[in-house]
Amino acid sequence: MHPSEEIKFEKSTSLKNKRICLCLTGSVACVESFYLCRDLIRHGAEVNVFMTESTTRLIHPDLMEFASGKKPILELTGRTEHITLCSDCDLVIVSPCTANTISKIALGIADNPVTTCVTTALGYGIPVIIVPAMHLSLMKNKAVERNIKKLERLGCKVLKPRIEKERAKIADREMIIANAIRLVGKRDLEDKNILIIGGASAERIDDIRVITNRSSGKFSIELAREAFERGANVELWYGWMKEKIPSYIRTKEFESVKDLSDMVKYTKKFDFIIVCAALSNYIPRALDGKIPSGIKGLTLDLETAPTIIDEIRKICKKGKIIVFKAEEREDKLIEKCKDLSNNFYMVVGNLITSFGKEDTTIWIFKKGKMKKVSGNKKDLARHIIDIMVS
Ligand SMILES: Cc1cc2nc3c(=O)[nH]c(=O)nc-3n(C[C@H](O)[C@H](O)[C@H](O)COP(=O)(O)O)c2cc1C
């Protein structure tokens, strides 16, 4: 067994049975392609590598043979590799893509294995992801700019680089993989606008202290990831969060329940709103400055916080609202969730012991039915969205 087989499905089965042509061009960022190739396999893909001549001066084809388990295509031969491999593949990724190759593809030039593979794929209507990487001066060149727009018009998904100082840095691997899964996956949330509200709220006590809670925000990230991969336009509104938010998810930040309440007016456009944030039920009457230390028996004056899910329901008439509820005991949780499910599209119950944990149990309530599921938060996010769209 080739070593590349051993890592298959290590991360997920999202790219199972998917054939991907990974095309490399002569940017230094091709050092990243080894890891990209391995991660595509870890998600279950079969990968064929194509390399331009300038790439082979930067990294050796043996490295990519080791990564993919197959000899990279360095030239086109009588085996017509561009037809045999590209015509029945599910996706082509050009990563990194040089200014040179961008402009060639935009003009329909097919003069090497990479440009011929992409031109063939576009002719067949196979999805193509272009991941540009170059010095900012090249990126700002009007001809290159125009050609990038042309690629978008041709139907390519261009993952724009991050601009840092004078460099247009290649999109991160996580973003490339998520877009690959999104393009070849089931896309049952295509054109749907989905808002996920996650993380913990933090309420001011004075200018430096807050009351917050132990929510890690993990569920909201897994839900955002899942919805993105299934084709949705996702926005994540996040409070205090321990987890790193993927760079491809659009975000807005809030701190307090009041901040969130001010944002509710922007919820109108959403088809689904999932509220899994741990929001404070009580708000302290905050003091300016810093409460001096050493006060004996200091008490806080708390008032009841507004209920955000009720505010959203008033504003967002068309949106289906999915609310999370956390309780200490299962019997109480089920009773509360049942009550809530009379007023909301769907309710997801979990016990407070699940805060910050990777594996947990949830109770999903929709249209009078209840389903109890256990697993890691990634798999549970899939279950929740499956039931949400069913
Ligand atoms: C060390 C080195 C690094 C390079 N990095 C880039 C790059 O990041 N982006 C780019 O567009 N061109 C870069 N170039 C220039 C391309 O390799 C050159 O334009 C080449 O003709 C591209 O050919 P290809 O698109 O067929 O691979 C680099 C060249 C060298 C020698």
pLDDT tens series, the chain, 390 aa: 888 889 999 999 999 999 999 999 999 999 999 999 999 999 999 999 999 999 999 999 999 999 999 999 999 988 888 788 888 899 999 999 999 999 999 999 999 999 999 999 999 999 999 999 998 889 999 999 999 999 999 999 999 988 877 667 799 999 999 999 999 998 999 999 999 999 999 999 999 999 999 888 999 999 999 999 999 999 999 999 988 999 999 999 999 999 999 999 999 999 999 999 999 999 999 999 999 999 999 999 999 999 999 999 999 988 999 999 999 999 999 999 999 999 999 999 999 887 777 889 999 999 999 999 999 999 999 999 999 999
Give the predicted TM-score (pTM) of the model. Answer: 0.92
In angstroms, what is the span from residue 91 Cα to ligand 1's centroid?
A: 24
pLDDT of res. 167: 66
Cβ of 85 closer than 6 Å to ligand 1, yes or no, is no
Greatest pairwise CA separation for the chain in angstroms: 87
| Contact in structure between 363 and 380 (CB atoms under 8 Å) | no
In angstroms, what is the span from residue 130 Cα to ligand 1's centroid?
A: 15
Cβ of 98 closer than 6 Å to ligand 1, yes or no, is yes
**Separation between Cα atoms, residue 53 and residue 73, nearest integer Å:** 10
- Counting beta carbons within 10 angstroms of the beta carbon of residue 33, is it exposed (0 to 12), middle (13 to 18) or buried (19 or more)? buried
Domains in the chain, ordered, with CATH? 3-184 (3.40.50.1950), 193-389 (3.40.50.10300)
- Counting beta carbons within 10 angstroms of the beta carbon of residue 338, is it exposed (0 to 12), middle (13 to 18) or buried (19 or more)? middle
Residues 296-319 pLDDT 10s: 999 999 999 999 999 999 999 889
Residue 168, SS3?
A: strand
What residue's CA is closest to ligand 1, atom 22?
26
Non-local (6+) Cβ contacts of 358 within 8 A are 218, 376, 377
In angstroms, what is the span from residue 26 Cα to ligand 1's centroid?
A: 4
In angstroms, what is the span from residue 54 Cα to ligand 1's centroid?
A: 7
| Nearest Cα to Cα of residue 257 among 205, 209, 200 | 200
| Contact in structure between 177 and 159 (CB atoms under 8 Å) | no
Residue 84, SS3?
A: helix
Residues 69-116 pLDDT 10s: 999 999 998 888 878 888 889 999 999 999 999 999 999 999 999 999
What residue's CA is closest to ligand 1, atom 5?
27
What residue's CA is closest to ligand 1, atom 14?
27
Cβ of 52 closer than 6 Å to ligand 1, yes or no, is yes
| Contact in structure between 111 and 104 (CB atoms under 8 Å) | yes
Do strands 346-351 and 359-366 pair parallel, antiparallel, or not at all (unpaired)? antiparallel
Element holding 283 (H helix, E strand): strand 282-284
Cβ of 56 closer than 6 Å to ligand 1, yes or no, is no
Q: How far is CA 288 from CA 1, 113, 159, 204, 254, in A?
A: 67, 66, 45, 10, 20
**Separation between Cα atoms, residue 177 and residue 338, nearest integer Å:** 38
In angstroms, what is the span from residue 117 Cα to ligand 1's centroid?
A: 19
Cβ of 4 closer than 6 Å to ligand 1, yes or no, is no
Residues 252-304 pLDDT 10s: 999 999 999 999 999 999 999 999 999 999 999 999 999 999 999 999 999 99
Cβ of 28 closer than 6 Å to ligand 1, yes or no, is yes
Please give the structure tokens belonging to residue 334. Answer: 């089920």
199's torsion region: left (phi>0), alpha (psi -120 to 50) or beta?
left
| Contact in structure between 205 and 245 (CB atoms under 8 Å) | no
- Cα Rg, the chain, nearest whole Å: 25
Orientation of helix 99-106 relative to helix 113-124, angle to 10°: 40
What residue's CA is closest to ligand 1, atom 4?
27
